Amino acid sequence: MATFFGEVVSVYSRAVEEDEEDFDENEEDEQIRRELEEKREVHLQWSPEVEELLRSGSKRLQCSDFILAVGHNAARFLSVYVLNSANWDAVGHASLWNERTQAVGGQTSEESACVFYRNKDNTSVLICQVTCYIAEDQLFQWTEKVFGCLQQRGLNVMVLSDSPVAEYKTPDYISSSSVPFLRSLQTSASSSQALCPSLEQPNMVTGLPAAVLSHCQVHHIPTIAYQCYSDVITPDSITMETYKPALTRLGKSIQLEPFPSADVLRKFVKASDIQSNLYI
């Protein structure tokens, strides 16, 4: 090969070595991707009794009502008004890892953040409380694994979720006296009458509630979601009580504690952290 200055230099081809280097890099990237996928996998752990039921018969739990609470107020509402009785057993939990769960206390998984409970008298009623963050790439996996354990025939799903009122879009003024409030969204297979107005456009349901609604819409599972818009970010007794009418529709399937004691409320309702207040 001639250069601009007239000398002739030999041509050295690195095609083979470059191909080998690219192959090594691709193989290394693939290994990293596989390890990351394994690390971000959602794991379901069930009690021995439930594990035995899942291994036998149809390999699915008979479930007539599945109540999913997403967010601190929704989860604490169930703790105060439903799960505080002795009629419920913790039968499993989901564990997962992502960047946000790692940032909270440095723990890779938090068992208490996603727990399943089953009614002792009516074992077809299942409750799940979720207070941990589930990343976008884990939502489909969580939904597929959980609903893969449930018998879909005759299944009804109810989702309770928290949302800040600042994200609620409306042309009208929202007075402080009207907060908190509920909005509903349901699948086409649901025939029940919602107890509150439907969620208006352009408002959306996001995260795990959206993933569950999408799954149930595709699989024709009757589902209704109640999203509570509140101006507080910590568990609050007024916000929790907003969910009460939703469960009264379930009748005998769920027994609500109409007047929880002050001790029970103090146990689950935490005061807002004011240590960061600049005026203190």
Looking at the predicted structure, is the pLDDT value of residue 112 above 60?
Answer: no
Give the model's pLDDT for residue 272: 43
Domains of the chain, earliest start first: 36-268 (3.40.50.10900)
Tokens in use for 171? 């042309």
Tokens in use for 218? 């595709």
Are 242 and 229 within 8 A, CB to CB?
no
Looking at the predicted structure, is the pLDDT value of residue 221 above 80?
Answer: yes
Q: What is the mean pLDDT of residues 37-42?
A: 87
* CA gap 119, 11 in Å, rounded: 78
* CA gap 201, 206 in Å, rounded: 13
Give the model's pLDDT for residue 102: 63
Give the model's pLDDT for residue 5: 46
* CA gap 275, 277 in Å, rounded: 6
Looking at the predicted structure, is the pLDDT value of residue 35 above 70?
Answer: yes
| Model pLDDT for residues 46-94, shown as the tens digit of each residue | 999 999 989 887 789 999 999 999 999 999 999 999 998 878 999 999 9
Tokens in use for 260? 């929880």
Looking at the predicted structure, is the pLDDT value of residue 120 above 50?
Answer: yes
Looking at the predicted structure, is the pLDDT value of residue 274 above 80?
Answer: no
Looking at the predicted structure, is the pLDDT value of residue 105 above 90?
Answer: no
* CA gap 52, 50 in Å, rounded: 5
| Model pLDDT for residues 10-21, shown as the tens digit of each residue | 555 555 555 555
pLDDT band at 108 (very low <50, low <70, confident <90, very high): very low
